[in-house]
A and B are shown apart, each in its own frame.
Chain A
């Protein structure tokens, strides 16, 4: 029983040991050397969980919605896991992770596993390691994985590349469809949920959004008409319909072949990231290449060489070293 041992953890996770899962997530999050073995050994068990992303502005009610969504998925016989990302303070490196507060009901009977993640410098609304954490959770045997992002501003849109269905949560106060278009939310959304529909303006936002959508050529979505759903997460209203819509989207992805295609491009992203990191390690951690780089950058400052030629010279030295 050694919860610090990677081999032990990979053995225990498929058996349903939550503590092993929890520790493995920590190692992955910390980018600990042991995480590599864990991710590699468990990868063959991943792919089964349907991944749903929940994103939207701060305070839109994402966590409250995840709470009721998780319960609804569970009541339909699914084993549900949740990952919720909150921002790390760029000044102190600390984070206050408060998403569990809203998920009391879903978490009460301990059948739903929920993990908070600090963004730790990740910029796209996720932490750098959120996808890997999702993979490890996937291997535990969840049917549905719900991932809540940091409250997005603009251009924090990594979630779409990490999940199968992206739900963008807006609130009546959020301003109209034009804002959503500007913020790039229409590009990443598979479903819009207008939450806090108990407040004035929800119907207006809905029709504004639908107007904005009707102007958009259906580039990304093909035959999928972006649905706009109203929810009152606090009361659980509209949640069954939202889950139905997630399943409709899933069917659409599967029937059109996009499910496989999306997953393949996600795998491609993973490979690219690993290759980039590996190349970086080989180039920048190599002491003799470092001294080549030092002298080249010195020459640049002295005006003896331009950065492009310096880069070519650097790559030639790297080649010569292999």
Chain B
């Protein structure tokens, strides 16, 4: 079976990626191939990595409060690159009303603080399974 491939990236300038690494490891332990790009990625770098690595998901961890600018930028760049099939998701300190707005723009599920790893892993498994069938 084809592997589910996830790009985990930490855009923006805040310098702490513990959360992103924990999620990356959990997805690996669930049998996925996870490309981790490290800190301080620009939206352009994220999308170029998604293109070169041919991933199914881009998962962004944003703790800096810049989610309302970064998510839409990455989405726009993904579309420009023709990567409409790539699911954009992520997590961080994102208030519910911002989550709603981001959903309306076409960003997939977002995870707030305190989400269990299990919930996150299940989401990737379920969405990933749908993609691999279609």
Whole-angstrom distance from the CB of B100 to the nearest CB of chain A?
32
Within 8 Å CB of A256, what residues of B?
A: none
Given A19-B81, A19-B82, A113-B52, CB of A92 within 8 Å of CB of B36: no
Chain B interface mostly:
mixed
CA distance A204 to B37 in the complex (A): 35
Q: Mark A87-108, 1 if CB is under 8 A from B, else 0.
A: 0110011111110110010011
Residues on B with beta carbons closer than 8 Å to the beta carbon of A30: 2-3
Q: Is A79 an interface residue (CB 8 A)?
A: no
With contacts A18-B52, A26-B54 taken as known, whether A96 is within 8 angstroms of B36 at the C-beta atoms is yes
Q: Using a Cβ–Cβ cut-off of 8 Å, how many residues does chain A contribute to the interface with B?
A: 30
CA distance A310 to B5 in the complex (A): 44
Note all chain A residues with C-beta closer than 8 A to B82: 1, 19
A116 at the interface (CB under 8 A from B): yes
The reply to whether B36 and A95 contact each other, CB–CB distance below 8 Å, is: no
Q: Return the contact of A118 from the options B24, B25, B29, B33 (Cβ within 8 A).
A: B33
Q: Are B28 and A95 interface neighbours, CB within 8 A?
A: yes
A96 to B, closest residue via Cβ: B28
Establish whether residues B48 and A96, one from each chain, have CB atoms under 8 Å apart when the complex forms: no
Chain B residue nearest in CB terms to A98: B36
Cβ B53 vs Cβ A22 within 8 A: yes
- Tell me the bound Cα distance from A22 to B81 in angstroms: 13
B120 touches A (CB below 8 Å): no
> A100 contacts B35, CB within 8 Å?
yes
For A191, the chain B residues whose CB sits under 8 A away are none
Asked if B34 is at the interface (CB within 8 A of a chain A CB), the reply is yes
B24 and A96 contact, CB distance less than 8 A: yes
Whether a CB of chain A sits under 8 angstroms from the CB of B44 is: yes
Contacts of A237 in B (CB 8 A): none
**B70 interface residue (CB < 8 Å to A):** no
Bound CA span A18–B50, Å: 11
The reply to whether A100 and B54 form a contact with Cβ atoms under 8 Å apart is no
A97 to B28, CA, bound (A): 9
> Do the beta carbons of B35 and A94 come within 8 Å of each other?
no
Cβ of B107 < 8 Å from any Cβ of A? no
**7 interchain residue pairs of minimum CB distance:** A101-B38, A94-B28, A22-B54, A94-B31, A96-B28, A26-B54, A93-B31
Given contacts A25-B54, A100-B36, 8 further A-B contacts (CB under 8 A): A18-B52, A19-B82, A89-B29, A96-B34, A96-B36, A97-B33, A97-B34, A98-B38
User: Which positions in B face A, CB cutoff 8 Å?
Assistant: 2-3, 24-25, 27-38, 40, 44-45, 48-49, 51-54, 81-83
